[in-house]
Structure 1
């Protein structure tokens, strides 16, 4: 075997704590010291190779799933064994086939009205002439959108999910980077209780969908999954549907809301960008708005790594030879701050993406390869419509204050002060 270089004489427990709590800082320092790949030994994942070179990252994402498979352990610890995060190989490919149709093509247009309606509902509560955090309002917007578009929830079930999901997401995102205890206690017991409440509510929604005579006409994802079939004609189990819906909610709720909060933090500090966005919002175009969204995702990366497990006896990564059982993690934040691909990477400049789509070799906020986020198109549509609706409804003040610092919420990286802005109604 030929491992990439590693920091010496640093205990495994210390490496693990630093990686969990100060991942960005650790990766930045070790990249400056070792270059495009280095090794760590951390709790939960063991021996891990961290990749920061785009050519090596491309090799990771292009690898056959039989060679580089699902990272172990993964987010299925929180979402359940029926989550797409728990699946590998043929099972993973079959599940993606069922999940892809609701998030592409004409299906997106059916969800736009829900996004605009929920954004306007939240806008009605925004204070005028008073600075406030946008992160929490964005959390509420994205949660309500998902509950309606994905769960098809309404009435008592909608209210129950609205109450129970936010604390579950917050607690789960903090615990997911920690080893699971053998017995539930404290926060892990609370997490299990949240899950039991969720299962009861979703069970009611599944029963209602099955009994609905108009099931074939419904467009919410829950209904799509209830009536979908694998190639052998079998249906998804109720528990798998519940796990998958929870996965879609958790993976799309906090990350999309965090990106939108960063968008408000960024545009309020760049008057020329904000002015151009406002002018475009009065038209049917969205070319510049898309460029801004791409640049926010690059400049303020919310999910900063995507990992794989070595399934083959040996994985050859550049000049290195990594043995079976090791983990390989691509630092997405380092990809986005690559100075060759993005000159002056610290500069916020939507012009980088104007008139062209981002290169998947360097821009990868949704991960890459066969495990790229299945809801990427939905998240992009969501951010586009939310920004358009806000810009058509309020005027955002600009500020010359320093940029908000990056805050680690466990999984997602958010503005430390919540993406604060001051607005005035039009």
Structure 2
């Protein structure tokens, strides 16, 4: 882990272009820009960026591990997400307050509770794919968005109703605006009028708070409140070490964090999964055969590999609270250390032929927590990681059980930025045919998708 030090500052080399020029390159073509800089300077280099300021970008897994295992007294949050999600979001908290909040939020998304959520996810997948067109190419991303949003809403609130219907309409619009506001300077997040992005987001937030206040009241008034297992009820019953509760406003912020961050990134990964698998017919056959046989090892490995080669989040960051030593570098206080997820996933010393899409690399071998980091790491690792993985596994096996996917030789879809997340540029397009419930054919490429 990084250590505090009084040694002279020693920063890695980096480009000398003006901050605005570096910022334009970083925002406009981050992947190609970071790759070019890595080829010139190696896996650690300095940047000077708008919003973030002076930044050290790292991708070496050893340094990533050091950063992720460093205590909260030395490094803290370095993201604008908290400004959009609210002061009660874990993205807004540091130190002991963050540690205690995280301790309260982890249990609903781990262990035996996952089994209870699986049925919810499968129901939502079956409901959505029932309307998929056969033999016609279509975008899967909108379907994945609906599946993951409905699943997280049901897991969080435990039921359906008018309030949930309104949230289904409200949240996608709020996520679209909020994810873009996060990567813009603070000025653009202000309420500059009804039609400004900041004003629109504030209007959505007011209505969201009204809905959540109503749902909180309904939960507390439920005679079966103490037996309820939905996330909202668990949060309302949770207690800090001193016996105090999470305030209603902070609960609203945390729920918004779970609902937004917990559905878009998972949905985008699922669209990438369709995009990748369709371009590998042999893998498609093997996955189908495994589903028919009741297995899951290759499915899990495929999910991990999609997250490696198509990470939907570019990076994760920390801000130094003291001067620290990180590897051979000495980084001053109030300096951002940014981890490039894509570059870490392409490290040749950790992955053989890293540019190849090869799920077999993970069959029987779970990924390393500091080389494979789609969920971040350390004390700020995504709380919903286990839930997201379960969602992807259930969705993949259900789709393969119900449909044969037609392979394609088309070039891979390019990245399209949605602000925070990077989606397949054509929406993760697919051509499917419903499989016979009597005779479930397999190979090659599920009999050319039953053609």
TM-score (norm 1): 0.97
1:180–1:292 distance in 2 versus 1, CA, 3 Å: same
Partner of 1:28: 35
Partners in 2 of 1:38 and 1:187 — Cα distance?
Answer: 34
- Of the candidates 221, 230, 233, which is equivalent to residue 231 of structure 2? 221
Confirm or deny that 1:7 pairs with 2:19. no
Runs of 4+ in structure 1 over 4 Å off: none
- Of the candidates 299, 303, 319, which is equivalent to residue 313 of structure 2? 303
Q: How does 1:108-123 map to 2 (within 5 A)?
A: 108-123=114-129
Partner of 2:423: 414
Cα displacement (A) at 1:183:
4.0
- Of the candidates 250, 253, 256, which is equivalent to residue 243 of structure 1? 253
Cα displacement (A) at 1:360:
1.1
Partners in 1 of 2:361 and 2:419 — Cα distance?
Answer: 30
Partner of 2:191: 184
8 Å CA contact 1:104, 1:377 repeated in 2 = yes
- Any unmatched runs of 5+ in structure 1? none
Q: How does 1:136-151 map to 2 (within 5 A)?
A: 136-151=142-157
Confirm or deny that 1:386 pairs with 2:395. yes
Cα displacement (A) at 1:153:
4.6
Partner of 2:275: 265
2:355 alignment partner, SS class: coil
- Any unmatched runs of 5+ in structure 2? 1-8, 436-451
1:48 alignment partner, SS class: strand
8 Å CA contact 2:55, 2:335 repeated in 1 = yes
8 Å CA contact 1:21, 1:408 repeated in 2 = no
Cα displacement (A) at 1:42:
1.1
Cα displacement (A) at 1:283:
3.1
Q: How does 1:190-229 map to 2 (within 5 A)?
A: 190-229=200-239
Partner of 2:379: 370
Partner of 1:62: 69
2:186 alignment partner, SS class: coil
Cα displacement (A) at 1:54:
1.6
Cα displacement (A) at 1:152:
2.8
Q: Cα deviations across residues 143-180 of structure 1 (Å, max 9, x unaligned)?
A: 00011111335211011001100011111111110112
1:390 alignment partner, SS class: helix
Segment of structure 1 superposing worse, 88-97 or 51-60? 51-60
1:284–1:218 distance in 2 versus 1, CA, 3 Å: farther
8 Å CA contact 2:55, 2:338 repeated in 1 = yes
Confirm or deny that 1:42 pairs with 2:52. no
- Of the candidates 363, 366, 369, which is equivalent to residue 357 of structure 1? 366
2:171 alignment partner, SS class: helix
Confirm or deny that 1:423 pairs with 2:429. no
Q: Cα deviations across residues 165-217 of structure 1 (Å, max 9, x unaligned)?
A: 00111111111101122841211111111111111111111110011111122
Cα displacement (A) at 1:39:
1.0
8 Å CA contact 2:80, 2:183 repeated in 1 = no
Partners in 2 of 1:153 and 1:172 — Cα distance?
Answer: 26
Confirm or deny that 1:230 pairs with 2:272. no
Partners in 2 of 1:149 and 1:287 — Cα distance?
Answer: 26
Q: Cα deviations across residues 311-330 of structure 1 (Å, max 9, x unaligned)?
A: 01x11122211110110001
Cα displacement (A) at 1:368:
0.9
* Aligned-residue RMSD, C-alpha: 1.1
Partners in 2 of 1:318 and 1:227 — Cα distance?
Answer: 43
Cα displacement (A) at 1:21:
2.7
Aligned residues: 423
